[in-house]
Amino acid sequence: MKTILFMAMSVNGYIARSDGEEDFLSHRNWETFCDTAKDFGCFVIGRKTYEAVQAWGEEYSFDRLKEISKVIVTRDENYQASGEYIIASSPKDAVNKLKKKGIEKILVTGGAKINSAFMKEGLISEIIINVEPFVLGKGIKLFADEDFENKLKYIGSKEIGEGIIQLKYEVI
């Protein structure tokens, strides 16, 4: 099972403002995420990320991504999402539920707590980061403060348009 963390962030490592707003991320990043999610056939997000994106309106809704498995990780066992979502209680639960559906590649796409939880449990095999040409003074970091560390091996990078650099790393 290959699990890839896919995120967009500012040059200085923030994925959102302190209030969760991601207005500094470009439409190009959204398009790249959608294309990648369609290629994988699935994605995993945390509850806060789901709720933040749902507030963006129709154009940027996860609901628009049809015919792919969408998993929300939450500790609330009674959580209800609009549309067709799989609810998982942990990163391992999310992986197991997608395995049962025959999915071999999983896309994890935030937020910071989910990113850290997957890394802490050793479930991430590769990281893809789209770096926006933007500096944010404070906000939510790519990873929440947790007790873990991982060495990475550089795979490559490329410009994907609008000054966005995509970095790829393998988790050792």
- What's the whole-number average pLDDT of the chain? 94
Q: Looking at residue 81, what is its pLDDT? A: 87
- Beta strands 86-88 and 69-73 are parallel
**For the chain, what percent of residues have pLDDT higher than 90?**
84
CATH number of 2-171: 3.40.430.10
What global pTM score does this model have?
A: 0.94
- Contact call for residues 122 and 1 (beta carbons, < 8 A): no
